[in-house]
Structure formats: structure tokens, C-alpha cells
Structure 1
């Protein structure tokens, strides 16, 4: 019997997908339940949910992260301290200083994207791969902002942005 390249490729694709899903934790554990989706990937993070109460963000002007290949870890304000890929709550028209520190020597940057995955108003830092180096991006919040991401690891290092109207 002659092996079909298409069937072999299909089988290998299926096996590869199963292996990737298992490594990523997408399959259930031995008890048949799903794995914990809310567990941080980065060891330095303590949780995946921060405080999104607008009152907690009222006086925020500075946002700080530690940059890891597995995710952004919040440092400041306290609403995101030790939170992996936290949701940012910004006020439309307000200026913010967003800084991040490279923690692992992998090339990272930070960019603010709209719903179409395009950078909003050139709000993107140049990036660096130097452990301990800090980059700062000054931006004005707009209702176009939907997410912030590392453009080099856009799926692992990403968080949502909620933009509120000024009170």
C-alpha cells in the first residue's frame, strides 16, 4: 500500500495541534475538567485580573510594567500591581506616561492598537532587548484604543484598554 502524502500531512498537522494545545494548557486535566485559564503565565505575576473600577484610575497619570516574553506584569498604579496583562482604564483626552522595563533580554516594545489591530496615532515605542532598560511612551487616551501589545509577542503580551469619557 502506498502512503498518501496528503493523509500523512493531515495526520501530522493534527498531532502537532494536539501537542501544542497540551503544552499551552488548552486540554483538560486528568479529571476531565478544563485547566485554570486565570493562572498567570509569568511567575512574577500574582493574578490576571486587576482593579478596573474607574475610581481606582481617577488620578492615574503614570503606568509602569515589567516586560516578560509571557506577558506584561503591572507595577504601577496599585490597581495593576503584579497583575499579568492587566486591563488599563484611561480617560479620553488625558495624557499618560507609560513605561516598561525589559526583564528578560528578549526584544519587546509597547504599542496601543485599535480594534483593527493598527497602531493608534503612532503610539508605539521603539523596543529594546537589554535587561533593565526602560522605555517610556507618552500618549493621549482616545476612544480608538482597544488593546496594548508588544508587537514582537502580540498574543502573549497583550491587554485590553477601556477608555472612559471625562467626568
Structure 2
């Protein structure tokens, strides 16, 4: 008799997004020791300040957090992009990612991911309410080249670099 309620991935992400440490983003940071695409043990902190350990595999979504303001996208997490304007996102083809962005200035924003010819590959919902957070989940592909705001395409534009997809370390940088 299993009396515990089922919890989906979205609920877990919402419950843990209060204090997302860099370690949760294993596979999105260069700090995971150059793993081989296998299982990585990470530590995450929950809103109750307790610490739990769980495993992250390549099939789970990795999270990148950005802030949106007309002057440019602001890197929030992982640590490698924190505070950087329009950081480069290095993604592994075939890996699932969730990009969460928060409206910082109350202007209308929308995140698009495009290929080298400008064709839209992924598109988030838009938001113009300050403080609103929007999530976009997708599987990275080699065609991904840039991300930008539909309403501020010059100031809010960053590069996307894709690795070989051979299971190597996934890195998100701001260089």
C-alpha cells in the first residue's frame, strides 16, 4: 500500500528553486571533474535548509537561470555565468535543458533559441510583469547558435555553443 502522493519533476523544481546551488547543475558546470556522461552525485539545499543527496544522469534536465532586462540577459546560475551579461551557453546535443528566466525590469521579454541562419528552434512564453519567471525546456541540438529576446534583439543576445554530444562534460560559461 503506497500512500505517498506522486510528485512530478515540475513540482520538485518549484520546491527546490528557492536555493539552487551550483552543485545541482552538475553537468552544466565545469566543476564536475570532467565526467564521462555517467552518473554524478550532487548535493542540493532545500528551502528548509536540510541537505539531501541525489543522482543526476544525462537524461535529466539541467537548469540554467537568467534575468531579463532591456540592457541584456543576466546570468544567475550556474556559478560560471553568475553576474555575466549575455553569457555564452555551452550545451551538449541530446541533453535536456531548462532555461528559467525572470523579468527584472517589467518590460516585455521573450527568449528565442535560433540556428546559424536565424531560424527559431525554441521559443519561450513572453512576460512583461516584473518578477515573473518563465521556463523553457528543450533538448539541445548541434544547430543551436544563439539566444535572444524577441523584443530587444540587439542588447539581449548571447551565443550558444554545442559540444560533440559524446557524453563529455557539459559546461555553461560566460566567456
- TM-score w.r.t. the length of structure 1 is 0.63
CA offset digits 1:27-83 (Å, max 9, x no partner): xxxxxxxxxxxxxxxxxxxxxxxxxx9734877810000100010000011110000
Q: Count matched residues.
A: 113
* Higher percent of residues as helix: 1
Whole-Å Cα distance in 2 between the matches of residues 147 and 106 of structure 1?
21
| Structure 2 runs not aligned, ≥5 long | 1-27, 35-39, 41-60, 168-175
Instruction: State the superposition RMSD in angstroms.
Output: 2.0
Query: Which is bigger in relative contact order (C-alpha 8 A, separation at least 6)?
Result: 2
Whole-Å Cα distance in 2 between the matches of residues 157 and 84 of structure 1?
9
CA separation of 1:130/1:54 partners in 2, compared to 1, >3 Å: closer, same or farther?
A: closer
| Structure 1 runs not aligned, ≥5 long | 1-52
* Higher percent of residues as strand: 2
CA contact (8 A) 2:65 2:100 kept: yes
Report the structure number with the largest CA radius of gyration: 1
Question: Secondary structure of the equivalent of 1:79?
Answer: helix
**Aligned residue runs from structure 1 range 131-142, under 5 A:** 131-142=130-141
Whole-Å Cα distance in 1 between the matches of residues 114 and 102 of structure 2?
20
